[in-house]
Structure 1
Amino acid sequence: MTKLAQDGPPLARRGLMMTGLITGLTLATTRVEAQVIHTDTAGLEAGEARVPVVDGELPAYFARPQGNGPFPIVLVNAEIFGVHEHIKDICRRLAKAGYLAVAPEVYARLADLSKMTDAAVIMRDVISKAPDATLMADLDATLRWATAHGGDSGRVGVTGFCRGGRATWLYAAHNPTLKAAVAWYGQVGGARTEIQPKTVTDIADRISCPLLALYGGKDTSIPVADVQAAVARARAAGRTVDLVIYPDSGHAFLADYRPSYRATDAADGWQRMLAWFRGHGVG
C-alpha cells in the first residue's frame, strides 16, 4: 500500500417501482457464491425504513445500536447495484461500531435494481437518468430521517462505494454540516450532462469537510492520476483530503461478495475509515 500525500414523474404519481429492498446478492456483476463477512444483529436495531422525500418515500435500510442514543450518523451510498445484502451488512458493521447507519435506495424512482443483471444497462437506463440535484435532496432527506430516529445531527459522516463514492464527494461539497466523508473508489471524472453537470474533480475544491479517499492502484476504470488531480484541486483550495492508494487492489476491493475483494486492503481501509470518523468528530 502506498499512501499519497430531468427528474422523472413523482413517486406519488408513479408509485414506487421497488416495494422493498434487495434481499439477496445482485447478479449484475460476476461474484463469488457467498459473502466473506456476515454481521449479525445482536445488540442492534436494524431493518427496512421509508424515508419521506418531496415526491413520496424512498426505501432504505438502517442499523443502529440498541438504546435511545443519540448516535453519530453515517449515510451510506451504495454501489450501482443498490442496497443489497453487502450494503446492509456494511450498515450493521457500522452500527456495531456505534453508529446509526442508513442506506437509501436512491434509484427506486427509476428501477427495481434487484431485477437488473447487466451493469452497462443499469448505467445507461438508471444511473445516467438520475439527477444529481435529486440525489443530494434524497441524502438531505435521509439525514433528516436519521436525526428523527435516534441520530445526532451534530455528528454526521458520509461514505460510499463506486458510484456511491462519487455521491460521497458530491455530498461533501453540498452539505456544510458534515463532519467527515470517506469515498471508496468513487469516479472522479466522466461525462457532464444537463442533469449531472459536475464531475468530482469539478467540485473537489468545494468540499466542506475532511475527506478520506480510498482507491485501488490497479483500478482500470479510475486512473490513479485522475484521482490525484482531484485531490490536488481540493488541497489547493485548502481542503483536507487524505488519499490512500492500495497498489495491489483494483476496483471494489471492499466488496466481499465479488472476486475483486482484497481482504487485507479492505480491513485496512475499514479501520482507516473508522479512525477518520472518530478523528473528525463523528463518533
Structure 2
Amino acid sequence: MDDIRIDAPAGTIDGAFEKPDGEGPWPGVVVVHDLLGLSTDARNITRRFADAGFLAVAPDLYARGGKVRCVQRVMREMLMRRGNAVDDILAARDALTARPDCSGKVGVVGFCLGGGFALLMSPKGFGAAAPFYPSIPPLYDSVVTGGCAIVASYGKRDPLNPGNAGRLRTVLERKGIEHDIKVYANAGHSFANDVPVQPVARIVGFGYDAEATEDAFARTFAFFHKHLAEN
C-alpha cells in the first residue's frame, strides 16, 4: 500500500492508494472512511477494491487538525452537504481521473459517516455510489436528486437506520435511479468494518458480520464493474 498526497482546495491531504496487479487502465473508486478515520480497516477495504480490479484511493478526511475537532467538522459538513470534506472527496476523484492508468470512470463507496458522503456524492459526477449503512438523516429525496446508480447495504439490526433502506428504495424508484438495495437480517451497523471491541459493539447493534460483508462487497463489485465499464 502506498500513501499519496491529494491536492484539494483547502490544501494538500494524505490518502491511502492501492492499484490492481497487471496493466490498466482500470476504473477508479474513492473509499470514504467511517467515523474512526483512515484506520487499518479502511486501508484494508481500499486494498479489497484494488484486488477486485479498481484503482482505489481513500482520502484522510481528518487530515487537518486534531481528530476530535476534525470529527466534529466533518460530521457538520456532511449535514450541511458542503465544506472541505466534500471538496476533499472530489479532489480524490480528480486525482484518480488524472492518472493514465485510470479509465476515467470513478465510483464512490463509504461506510457509516462515509456512507452518508457516498450518498451526497451521487449527483456530483460519479459513475456509481455504494453507501454502507449511511449515517445521514434520511432526507433522501433532496440528497440523491440527479444522482448516479446506487448500490446500498443495510443491517436490519442497525439502531441508526431503522426503516431507512425502504425509504431510500422508495425514493430511488420514484426518481428512476437504478439501484440495488439489500438489508441483511442478522447484521447491525458497521457490519463490514472489522474493528476492535466487537463483543461490546454487537450488544448495542453494531459489529462485524463476515457473511453479510462478503455478500455486500460481491454485490458492490459487480454493480461497480457494470456501471464503471468503459463505453
Q: Which has the higher contact order (CA 8 A, sep 6+)?
A: 1
Please give the alpha-carbon distance, in whole angstroms, between the structure 1 residues aligned to 2:73 and 2:120. 21
Question: Cα–Cα, structure 1 residues 244 and 129, in superposed 2: closer, same or farther, change >3 Å?
Answer: closer
Give the alignment partner of residue 107 of structure 1, picking from 62, 66, 84. 62
Give the alignment partner of residue 265 of structure 1, picking from 188, 199, 212. 212
Partner of 2:228: 281
Equivalent residues in 2 for 1:58-77 (5 A)?
A: 58-66=13-21, 69-77=24-32
Question: Are positions 1:186 and 2:134 aligned together?
Answer: yes
Give the alignment partner of residue 91 of structure 1, picking from 20, 32, 46. 46
Equivalent residues in 2 for 1:197-208 (5 A)?
A: 199-207=139-147
Q: Normalising by structure 2, what TM-score?
A: 0.85
Partner of 1:152: 102
Aligned residues: 219
Question: Are positions 1:237 and 2:211 aligned together?
Answer: no
Overall identity of the aligned pairs, in %: 29
Decide which structure has the larger Cα Rg and report it. 1
Give the counterpart letter for 1:204 in structure 2: V
Please give the alpha-carbon distance, in whole angstroms, between the structure 1 residues aligned to 2:101 and 2:28. 6
| SS of residue paired to 2:82 | helix
Question: Cα–Cα, structure 1 residues 79 and 99, in superposed 2: closer, same or farther, change >3 Å?
Answer: same
* Residues 179 and 282, structure 1, Cα contact 8 Å, conserved in 2: no
| SS of residue paired to 2:105 | strand
| CA displacement 1:71-111 (0-9 Å, x = unmatched) | 210110100111111111111111112211000012322x3
Q: CA deviation at 1:227?
A: 2.9
Please give the alpha-carbon distance, in whole angstroms, between the structure 1 residues aligned to 2:175 and 2:73. 36
Give the counterpart letter for 2:113 in structure 1: R
Question: Cα–Cα, structure 1 residues 202 and 265, in superposed 2: closer, same or farther, change >3 Å?
Answer: same
- Output the aligned Cα RMSD: 2.2
Q: CA deviation at 1:123?
A: 5.1
Where in structure 1 are there 5+ consecutive unaligned residues? 1-45, 191-198
Question: Cα–Cα, structure 1 residues 188 and 235, in superposed 2: closer, same or farther, change >3 Å?
Answer: farther
Where in structure 2 are there 5+ consecutive unaligned residues? 199-206
